[in-house]
Amino acid sequence: MGRPRAFDEATAVASAAALFASRAYDGISVDDLVNHLGVHRNSLYQTFGSKRGLYLRALRWHLDEQVRPALRRNATFDNGLDFLLLAATERAPADPEVATEITRILAEFDEALTAPATSALLGDHLRARLSR
Amino acid sequence: MGRPRAFDEATAVASAAALFASRAYDGISVDDLVNHLGVHRNSLYQTFGSKRGLYLRALRWHLDEQVRPALRRNATFDNGLDFLLLAATERAPADPEVATEITRILAEFDEALTAPATSALLGDHLRARLSR
DNA sequence: CCCGTTGTTGACTGATCGTTCCTAAACTCG
DNA sequence: CGAGTTTAGGAACGATCAGTCAACAACGGG
């Protein structure tokens, strides 16, 4: 019961993931999220608890719905590693939960490919990101 | 003439480079820099113009004094790629001058090594950074 | 010795940060 | 058509941000 949500939670998480993949965590304000998602400030806090809560939800969604499926199918990642890359370099050192997620997914990369292949893949995507 | 400086500019730049290598640009406040360098706020602004001015000075110092010498000697980089790595993933997309510096140094890497070797090197250091 | 110049110092500015409060609106159930 | 519950919406919070201002201190040259 109660008033129904005016936004789709899954859509909001996906949209947040796209935004978090584009700039550093501290470079994205809650106002930016509000504008980009079209969801009002209070709804975000009620649904996700905090900016960090939304970030973690978005990161896990990115890994579960974009990275892992591509890894299983041995498909290409296209731009689909940007969030992972940014989280690994910028956020993991500052947030233990992010570090845990990144460490886990990289272990899965090592298992599916090899450690050198994982490093090469990360390096390639880092460089590709510079040309975009 | 005039009052002499109470701090060494080169030392301040090196110290700023160490700090900028540790966290994202927006995660480092001018107060952080003031505390870490032991140089007072106004002296930083008088000498470097702005936070971004100091960042660019520190990045160029890092590349000129730490990265390029090691690249010429074919030596190991140890932790000496952290600032480059962070600048490439986090700052280059937001700051054209940073992007220029990063593009240039990576071209030098490609020349000294090969493009795949550069990617592998970057990927390896990205992963090594996670375990520190 | 005093004047011009440069550096130091700490208080201060408006803007923006993440987060919260409160009221109104939209729904379900009785 | 209320009563109860959940969300939307906008205004507001204290904290912190990058950057500035004006008074004072330390030097060199005349």
- What pLDDT was estimated at residue A78? 82
- B96 beta carbon < 7 A from strand C? no
pLDDT, tens digit (0-9, with 9 covering 90-100), for B61-82: 999 999 999 999 988 888 789 9
Instruction: Count other C-beta atoms under 10 Å from residue A109's C-beta.
Output: 21
Residue A99 lies in a domain: yes
Q: Which residues are CB-contacts of B48 (< 8 A; sequence separation ≥ 6)? A: B54, B57
Q: Can you read off the two tokens belonging to residue B84?
A: 């480059």
Residue A3 lies in a domain: no
Residue B3 lies in a domain: no
**Are residues A54 and A44 in contact, defined by beta-carbon separation less than 8 angstroms?**
yes
Closest partner CB to B99 (pick from A124, A126, A130): A130
Which is nearest to B89 in space by CA: A52, A129, A92? Answer: A129
- B3 beta carbon < 7 A from strand C? yes
Query: How much is the mean pLDDT over chain A?
Result: 96
To the nearest whole percent, how much of chain B has pLDDT over 70? 100
Please state the rounded mean pLDDT for residues A59-79. 93
Q: How confident is the model at residue B113 (pLDDT cuts 50, 70, 90)?
A: very high
Structural domain count, chain A: 1
- DSSP letters spanning B98-131: HHHHHHHHHHHHHHHS-HHHHHHHHHHHHHHHHT
Residue B117 lies in a domain: yes
Radius of gyration of chain A (CA): 16
CATH classification of the domain holding A80? 1.10.357.10
B24 vs A24: CB contact, 8 Å cut-off? yes
- What pLDDT was estimated at residue A55? 98
Closest partner CB to B94 (pick from A27, A102, A120): A27
Please state the rounded mean pLDDT for residues A62-91. 94
Residue B126 lies in a domain: yes
User: Is the torsion defined by CA of A115, B110, B57, B50 positive or negative?
Assistant: negative
Q: Does the pLDDT at position B57 exceed 80?
A: yes
Strand nucleotide closest to residue B5 (CA to C1'): C7
A126 vs B129: CB contact, 8 Å cut-off? no
Residue B80 lies in a domain: yes
Per residue, what are the HEC states of A88-125? HHHHCCCCHHHHHHHHHHHHHHHHHCCHHHHHHHHHHH
Residue A96 lies in a domain: yes
- What pLDDT was estimated at residue A63? 98
Place of tokens 């000498």: B47
Please state the rounded mean pLDDT for residues B21-33. 97
Query: How much is the mean pLDDT over chain B?
Result: 96
Residue A79 lies in a domain: yes
**SS3 category, B2:** coil
Please state the rounded mean pLDDT for residues A108-115. 96
pLDDT, tens digit (0-9, with 9 covering 90-100), for B34-45: 999 999 999 999
- What pLDDT was estimated at residue A127? 96
Task: Indicate the residue type of B49.
Answer: G
Q: How confident is the model at residue B104 (pLDDT cuts 50, 70, 90)?
A: very high
Range of the domain at B123: 9-130
